[in-house]
Amino acid sequence: MSRELSASELIGDERYGAMLKQISDQPVLYRVGLAKGVKVPVPDRPVRAFVVYGLGGSAMPGAMLASLASLHADVPVVVSNGSHPPAWIREDDFVALVSYSGRTTEVIRALDVLSKRSIKPLVLASGGKLLQSAEEIGLPTVRLTPEMTPRMSVPEMFGVLVAVYHRVSECEAFSPESVSSAAERLSAFWRRISPEVKPEENDAKTCALLTSEGTLSVFGWGHMHIAALRLRNQLAENAKLPCVVNEVPENLHNTVESMGAFKGLRHVALRSKNEPQDVALQFSVLGSILELTLTVSFAGGPVYELMSSVMWADAVSIYAAALRGVDPREIPTISRIRRAVEGA
């Protein structure tokens, strides 16, 4: 693949074309999820906490929601991605179990554990044993769009969760109308970073090109930190590349001190128009200490900023995969671990 990352090469290659189409379809996927989420039955009592349990890409929509809820809402969102669901979960918590495939061992086990504690979670899956078991015992379920690359189902999952969360939290920042409006704006954003746009005008391609010069070190605050995590995860799965993520301000109080010991890092800042003044100041100081190779700014409400930065991160990962000539569809190491766990 040439460093120009031409549209014809990218779209015409079966390794990348289909996944780029799934990225460009994100506005539709968010709205599909919202439509499904508004139909989910919710308790008519106050909810103590909104808990999302899932691993890998299935935990990402929970992390997205949690970062936004911390800015706007009174009901806390807690993301759990350990080997077991938290012991503190009670009947007055709302729990969503998320596994795109419906075959994730930990999530299937969580359903059994919670059911024995008389907790009735919402289940999101495209099929598999998880969805089947939930339907058999009469739990609320959402069947996700089938035959997608699992990690690319995040927009639909987020749409479901945010629609449900709006109803249990009564926070208008997450109304289906406002979230749908933010999703509609993604079509225009995609035109800025699509394969047709050359690297000098396309910061997603520019960032992908940086991966050939060294390991990315990405700084982000709040919901931009979640976008940085998405970039790290997508680079790992799609491009088979490492990425260092730094949370602002947390990592400016510790790990930034060791940055000089790393050779070959390419520092990238993901900036939000909604940053508080103290965070903006810390980014300014950071830029005077480290050489920030690339700064990418996102402007709009936090919901739109997060959606657009996730879309951007996904595009970067596919462009980086194309530059390396690797197949983003193949995840042999992850698959080997899953088979071992499922066969235990």
Does the pLDDT at position 338 exceed 90? no
Handedness of CA 317, 311, 143, 28 (dihedral sign): negative
Q: Where are the domains of the chain?
A: 7-17+185-324, 38-183
Phi, psi values for residue 266, rounded to 5°: -115, 110
> What average pLDDT does range 162-187 have in this prediction?
96
CA distances from 9 to 118, 229, 283, 312 (A): 53, 28, 37, 19
E strands, the chain, where?
A: 50-53, 77-80, 94-98, 122-125, 141-143, 215-221, 243-248, 265-272, 292-298
Assigned token pair, 323:
């530059």
Domain 7-17+185-324, CATH homologous superfamily name and number: Glucose-6-phosphate isomerase like protein; domain 1 (3.40.50.10490)
Q: Kindly state the helix (H) or strand (E) to which residue 323 belongs, with its residue range.
A: helix 302-324
**How many angstroms separate the CA atoms of 201 and 290, rounded?**
24
> 193: number of CA atoms within 13 Å, CB side?
28
What is the DSSP code (8-state) at residue 250? G
**How many angstroms separate the CA atoms of 218 and 290, rounded?**
12
DSSP string, 124-141: EESSHHHHHHHHHTT--E
Calculate the average pLDDT of the chain. 95
Q: Identify whether 249 is preceded by a cis peptide bond (ω within 30 of 0).
A: yes
pLDDT-derived band at 341, boundaries 50, 70, 90: confident
CA–chain centroid gap for 92, Å, is 27
**How many angstroms separate the CA atoms of 263 and 248, rounded?**
21
> What average pLDDT does range 115-138 have in this prediction?
96
Among 54, 27, 40, 161, smallest CA distance to 111 is for: 54
pLDDT-derived band at 340, boundaries 50, 70, 90: confident
Does the pLDDT at position 4 exceed 80? no
Q: What percentage of the chain exceeds 70 in pLDDT?
A: 99
pLDDT-derived band at 333, boundaries 50, 70, 90: very high
Q: Which fold has domain 38-183?
A: Rossmann fold (3.40.50)
pLDDT, position 3:
75
**How many angstroms separate the CA atoms of 123 and 130, rounded?**
8
Assigned token pair, 58:
């299935």
pLDDT-derived band at 109, boundaries 50, 70, 90: very high
> What average pLDDT does range 157-176 have in this prediction?
96
> What average pLDDT does range 228-250 have in this prediction?
98
pLDDT, position 344:
61
Does the pLDDT at position 334 exceed 70? yes
Do the domains spanning 7-17+185-324 and 38-183 agree at the CATH topology level?
A: yes
pLDDT digits (tens, 9 = 90+) for 180-235: 999 999 999 999 999 999 999 999 999 999 999 999 999 999 999 999 999 999 99
Assigned token pair, 175:
């109304």
> What average pLDDT does range 37-48 have in this prediction?
94
